[in-house]
């Protein structure tokens, strides 16, 4: 028994901190846990991350972004996720194909540049193969609260986009969470402790028996 758990949501929703807290908690409970992030976690994925998020980097269309995010995902799933699951480990990953559907398929302001969702779904299926997330938790947060939480850090290329983009990201996540299998929305407002308590209530019943 293994678990492939994903935390996803708007920039600034706190998924990195929450994933770290969940990882420590699951290790405490006797699980072997692998904490991963998209794009990244493999050497190729981290190189793609720099290309995708560098504010001084080349401009790209949503289609190009979708292909690069998907390439990073395919490597991470093949190199890290599938082998960990085969050993019965718990994988806690930040982001998944849902981010691509939302950021490249729904949120771009120029409607003609939005990548059609059926194509993005197919890319997602290709990148994951049979290794699909068992549960995707969308951390939902008001975009102004999220922006305030990120205020102390330099925004990357995507975080620097206008408020309307991030609002469409939020609405996109909420809409897709209703349609996609294995999605749960968790309120990401309040303190780290509040959010972690809500998350553990969702995750606890999913954890395999510790080895
Ligand atoms: P993130 O991990 O949230 O960065 P941070 O280090 O700030 O926590 O994600 C990187 C950015 O990439 C984020 O703005 C969302 C975006 N993204 C997409 O646009 N499409 C995707 O498929 C993925 C995985 C991320």
105 lines ligand 1 (CB under 6 A): no
| Residue in 6, 13, 17, 38 to alter for ligand 1 test, most ligand atoms within 8 A of Cβ | 38
The beta-strand segments (E) located in the chain are 3-9, 33-37, 90-94, 135-140, 183-187
Strand-pairing partners, residue 139, are: 9, 186
60 lines ligand 1 (CB under 6 A): no
Contacts of 133 (CB under 8 A, 6+ apart): 4, 5, 6, 93, 96, 182
173 lines ligand 1 (CB under 6 A): no
Q: For ligand 1, what atom is nearest to the CA of residue 159?
A: 14
Ligand 1 centroid – CA 211 distance (Å):
32
CB atoms within 10 A of CB 66: 22
Q: How many alpha carbons lie under 13 Å from residue 82 in its C-beta half-sphere?
A: 13
94 lines ligand 1 (CB under 6 A): yes
What does DSSP say about strands 33-37 and 90-94: parallel, antiparallel, or unpaired? parallel
Q: CA-based Rg of the chain, rounded to a whole angstrom?
A: 16
**Domains, the chain, with CATH or none:** 3-206 (3.40.50.300)
Residue 118: the pLDDT is 98
Reduced to 3 states (helix: H, G, I; strand: E, B; else coil), residue 185 is strand
Residue 210: the pLDDT is 72
CA of residue 197 relative to chain centroid, distance: 20
CA distance 165 to 108: 7
9 lines ligand 1 (CB under 6 A): no
Q: For ligand 1, what atom is nearest to the CA of residue 69?
A: 22
Residue 211: the pLDDT is 64
pLDDT mean by block of 10 residues, the chain; 211 residues = 96 97 97 97 97 92 98 98 97 98 97 97 96 97 95 91 97 96 97 98 92 64
Ligand 1 centroid – CA 52 distance (Å):
9
């Amino acid at each position: 028994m293994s678990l492939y758990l994903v935390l996803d949501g708007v920039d600034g929703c706190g998924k990195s901190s929450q994933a770290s807290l969940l990882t420590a908690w699951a290790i405490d409970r006797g699980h072997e846990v692998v904490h991963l992030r998209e794009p990244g976690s493999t050497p190729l994925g981290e190189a793609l991350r720099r290309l995708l998020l560098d504010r001084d980097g080349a401009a790209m269309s949503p289609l190009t972004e979708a292909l690069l995010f998907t390439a990073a995902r395919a490597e991470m799933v093949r190199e890290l996720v599938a082998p960990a699951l085969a050993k019965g480990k718990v994988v806690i990953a930040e982001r998944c194909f849902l981010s691509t559907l939302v950021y490249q398929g729904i949120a771009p302001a120029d409607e003609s540049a939005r990548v059609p969702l059926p194509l993005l779904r197919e890319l997602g299926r290709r990148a994951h193969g049979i290794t699909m997330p068992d549960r995707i938790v969308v951390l939902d947060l008001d975009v102004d609260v999220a922006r305030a939480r990120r205020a102390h850090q330099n925004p990357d290329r995507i975080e620097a986009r206008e408020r309307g983009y991030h609002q469409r990201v939020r609405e996109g996540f909420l809409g897709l969470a209703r349609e996609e299998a294995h999605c749960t929305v968790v309120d990401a407002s309040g303190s780290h402790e509040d959010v972690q308590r809500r998350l553990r209530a969702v995750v606890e019943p999913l954890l395999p028996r510790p080895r």
